[in-house]
Structures are given as structure tokens and as C-alpha cells.
Amino acid sequence: MPKSPSLFDFHLLLLFTIFSLAAADAIAAARPITQQFKEAPQFYNSEICPKIVGEDDESDNGTSIFLCSDQSVHVAMTLDSAYIRGSMAAVLSILQHSSCPQNIVFHFVASATANASFLRATISSSFPYLNFQIYSFDDSSVSRLISTSIRSALDCPLNYARSYLADLLPSCVHRIVYLDSDLVLVDDIAKLAATQLGDNSVLAAPEHCNANFTSYFTLTFWSSATLSLTFANRKPCYFNTGVMVIDLDRWRRGDYTKKIEEWMEIQKRTRIYELGSLPPFLLVFAGNIVAVDHRWNQHGLGGDNFKGLCRDLHPGPVSLLHWSGKGKPWVRLDANRPCPLDALWAPYDLLQTPFALDS
């Protein structure tokens, strides 16, 4: 007669089942989740738009004339699989509200370890007529300088790519509008791109002088007789680095990437701030930027860096909605726990749901 299973045998079977399920979960977690996106409508220039002369030609070094034209509006964004849904919505919003969408060139920066072919195919399938380039960013160039911040998402090397745009983009690109991936525009980006930088300023952004500027740096910084003199001859105000107009020529001449890296090296030796890539920008530029109207960065809609609670708009007109902070609209919508303002992001969401029907 066959031997009846003992209690020990049942325990072995239970352990085997648990380990098998755990292994299956681990494999599923490691497998990349492929998101499918709908094709966006094609947008056309209005009659008032300048024609890009020689847009189909190439310069001597093989770079397209269109890519280098000062008549184009140049937009820089980072691109990765984690935030690509936000990036797609941002691109759609920019094109939809632009008077000259065909004159916009997108410069996407992706990690050198990312699947560039997948990212390129994803963008091209939803925006077949988009003018764009993808640039490879070597994470190791900045990883050694990154210090742990209050939120792990802020420690991603790609979050620091905005400091290297002058090196990554062709030298023929003189001015760029840098945008984060968690925002949408409801106004013509050409208005923001046309911001006058004066004779000396390197960048422009909305300033928030009512914010407690001292809170962005540690007591160690302010108690240092040397470090605290950094802002001695300036009137520094907080500005969010998710929306900036940058003169790349002035950035290159001033070697501002090196200046930012020098502050990051100090941070590695002595902890002088807690927030990722923002403080080095404040240390180098605060008090010396051109102030842009607040309508161009209604930021903080993602709540704070800890709980990501819902927030209202700041008083005044709105040209750009920015979900900076922990809470992202696509995450909250998927969890059926949206904030009221997430409904303003949803119309730009190109994600193809399993149950969506072709119109």
C-alpha cells in the first residue's frame, strides 16, 4: 500500500508552494511592463508661423537644419520607462496648444542604460510627425556626485541630466525650454520660449520670493562663515527647476555644469542640503535669474515629498500645470484616488487601456 503523506511532507509541500509563488512574483516584477499608447492627432502650423528654411537639408556635420534653426522652439525633456506616460501627455499638451506645432523640436535625454529603441518607437508611434532627437546620458558621469535625498526618486541620475544639456545637445542649439515630465501646458509654449534673458542672465524661471529660502539648506550651511556668504551679494528666491528657459551659449561660456558639480562635491563632504538636484541650481543661480510670470509653473500639484496630498492651484492665471511632489496624476487615477486637479491632466493621457475602443 502507498504510504500516507506525513505532516512533514505537507510542510515540505507548503514551503515549495510558497517559494514557487515568490519566484513567480519576482520574475513578474523583473519583467518590463509594456504600455501601449494611442496615436495623437496631427497638429499643423497656422499661417502666421515662420517657415524653417532648408528644413529638409543637412548641415556640414550631418545635423538637420531644422534641428539647429533659431526659428524652431527647442524643448528638452528627460525620457524613461517610469515616467513615459507623463512625458507623452506633456508632449501632446504642448502640440495641442501651440500656434506653430510643426516648428517645435523635442530634445529627449535618456539614460545610456535605457532601451532607446523602445523609447524611440513609443514616441514615433504616437507622434509620427514629431521632430525629435534622443540623446544618451551616461549615468556614471553624475552618479559619483549624488547624495541621498529625502525621496529616492530625486536620486535618479537622470534627474540631474538638466545640468548637462549644454554638453548633450548640439552646439547649434542656442536656447532651450527645459520641462519636467509631470506637467501639461494649456498655453502656447512659444510665449515662454520668447522670454527675454537680458544681457547677462543664463536662465529664466518663475520665482517664489515668499518661500522660506533658508529651509532649502541645512544648519551646517548657514552656520558656516564661508558657505553662508554664497548669497551675500544677491537677493535669492526659490525657483522650481522643472520649468526653465536656458541660454545654452551663456551656459557653455560660463561652464555652469562645472559650478554645479563643485557644489555637489561639497555636499558629498559636508551635508548642506536635503533635496536632490534643486539646491545646486539655487546655489549657482538664485538671485541672478530672470523672473517669469507664475502662470508658467503652477507647481506643487503632486503634494509634498512625503505624503503627496492634494493641493489647490495658486491664485492667478494658469499656463502650465505641474505635478511636482510625490503624487503623480496617472498613479492616483489608476488607483481610483485622484485629486480634483488630476482631472485636468487626464484629457492628455494617451495610454491605451485594454478596454479602449477605436473611435
Q: pLDDT tens digits for 68-78?
A: 899 999 999 99
Looking at the predicted structure, is the pLDDT value of residue 53 above 80?
A: no
Exposed/middle/buried for residue 81 (C-beta within 10 Å: 0-12, 13-18, 19+): middle
184 strand-pairing partners: 321
Q: Which pLDDT tens digit goes with each residue over 211-270? A: 999 999 999 999 999 999 999 999 999 999 999 999 999 999 999 999 999 999 999 999
Q: How many CB atoms lie within 10 A of CB 303?
A: 19
Classify domain 63-348 at the CATH topology level: Spore Coat Polysaccharide Biosynthesis Protein SpsA; Chain A (3.90.550)
| 141 pLDDT tier (thresholds 50, 70, 90) | confident
- Predicted confidence at residue 11, as pLDDT, reads 45
Q: Which pLDDT tens digit goes with each residue over 186-219? A: 999 999 999 999 999 999 999 999 999 999 999 9
* Three-state SS at 357: coil
Q: What is the mean pLDDT of the chain?
A: 87
Between 54 and 147, name the one with better pLDDT: 147
Q: At 28, which amino acid appears?
A: A
Looking at the predicted structure, is the pLDDT value of residue 128 above 80?
A: yes
- Predicted confidence at residue 64, as pLDDT, reads 66
**Where is 76: in which H helix or E strand?**
strand 73-78
Identify which of 24-28, 60-64, 288-292 has the greatest average pLDDT: 288-292
CB 279, CB 304: distance < 8 Å: no
Looking at the predicted structure, is the pLDDT value of residue 121 above 60?
A: yes
Cα 84 to Cα 122, 142, 263, 356, distances in angstroms: 9, 22, 30, 19
Q: Which pLDDT tens digit goes with each residue over 12-49? A: 443 443 344 334 333 333 334 478 999 999 999 999 99
- Predicted confidence at residue 305, as pLDDT, reads 67
- Predicted confidence at residue 153, as pLDDT, reads 66
Cα 202 to Cα 74, 249, 290, distances in angstroms: 16, 9, 8
How far apart are alpha carbons 213 and 200 in whole angstroms? 24
Cα 40 to Cα 51, 245, 259, distances in angstroms: 23, 26, 40
How far apart are alpha carbons 154 and 221 in whole angstroms? 21
How far apart are alpha carbons 127 and 108 in whole angstroms? 14
Percent of the chain with pLDDT over 90: 74
All cell numbers assigned to 290: 530672470
Cα 300 to Cα 94, 277, 348, distances in angstroms: 20, 16, 19
CB 72, CB 66: distance < 8 Å: yes
Please name which of 304, 298, 257, 259 lies closest in space to residue 154, comparing C-alpha atoms.
Answer: 304
| Residue 243 Rama label (left phi>0; alpha psi -120 to 50; beta) | beta
- Predicted confidence at residue 212, as pLDDT, reads 94
Percent of the chain with pLDDT over 70: 84
DSSP 197-211: -TTT--EEE-EETTS
